């Protein structure tokens, strides 16, 4: 049975609470990366650990462009990956902590109409979870993810398998043994 520690995500929590918890786990890994491991190969083909941070810092703000919110300039992932991650996480958290901004609705094809909070909670949160694992794997750190969130993500993604694969954001599914733990299945899925 999976460990259901007090650090687990409560499914009844708000998007702001969920992001705060997931971002804290990612921040803990980012802060532990030794300086010489930022250029270590990441599980994402052709990427190193700092590229994983660069990916999040570049695409997450762009997803919110139609909402009229823009991330202020901050450290670059190339020069300061930890600083870049913290800048992004703090900015996203500030959006979620402001009810007016969090409730701003926008249209983002092909995702459709959503609020800023929904975009962060349903799209970005999962990306942060998976990329926390990527950073940990690249840098030789603890790769354990929140088991409740892993379950929620894995079960939620299974019905979208074909759509996710054809989106170009996911490569071919990696086969794992039937008795593999859910984290292994999720990582193989993504």
Structure confidence by residue, pLDDT tens digits, 97-117:
999 999 999 998 878 899 999
For the segment 159-170, the average pLDDT, to the nearest whole number, is 78
Cβ count within 10 A of residue 3 = 10
pLDDT band at residue 43 using 50, 70 and 90 as cut-offs: very high
Q: What is the pLDDT of residue 9?
A: 52
Taking each helix axis from N to C end, the angle separating 125-139 and 15-32, rounded to the nearest 10 degrees, works out to 10
Of the candidate CATH numbers 1.10.540.10, 2.120.10.30, 1.20.120.450, 1.10.3720.10, the domain formed by 15-145 belongs to 1.20.120.450
Angle at 67 between CA 61 and CA 69, to 5 degrees: 55
* Statement: residue 12 has pLDDT above 90: no
Q: What is the pLDDT of residue 6?
A: 40
Q: Which ranges of the chain does DSSP label H, i.e. alpha helix?
A: 15-32, 49-63, 81-97, 99-102, 116-119, 125-139, 147-157, 161-166, 182-189
**Mean pLDDT of the residues in the chain:** 90
List the chain domain ranges. Answer: 15-145
Non-local CB neighbours of 11 within 8 Å, separated by 6+ positions: 148, 152
pTM of the predicted model as reported, rounded to 2 decimal places: 0.88
């Amino acid at each position: 049975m999976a460990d259901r520690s007090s650090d687990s995500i409560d499914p009844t929590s708000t998007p702001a609470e969920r992001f705060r918890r997931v971002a804290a786990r990612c921040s803990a890994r980012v802060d532990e990366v030794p300086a010489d491991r930022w250029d270590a190969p990441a599980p994402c083909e052709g990427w190193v650990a700092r590229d994983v941070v660069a990916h999040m810092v570049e695409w997450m703000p762009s997803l919110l462009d139609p909402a009229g919110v823009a991330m202020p300039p901050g450290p670059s992932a190339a020069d300061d990956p930890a600083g870049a991650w913290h800048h992004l996480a703090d900015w996203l958290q500030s959006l979620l902590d402001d009810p007016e901004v969090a409730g701003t609705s926008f249209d983002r094809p092909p995702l459709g109409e959503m609020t800023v909070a929904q975009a962060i909670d349903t799209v970005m949160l999962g990306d942060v979870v998976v990329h926390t694992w990527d950073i940990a794997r690249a840098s030789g750190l603890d790769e354990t993810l929140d088991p409740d969130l892993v379950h929620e993500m894995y079960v939620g993604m299974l019905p979208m398998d074909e759509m996710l694969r054809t989106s170009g954001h996911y490569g071919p599914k990696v086969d794992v043994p039937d008795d593999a733990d859910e984290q292994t299945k999720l990582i193989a899925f993504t």
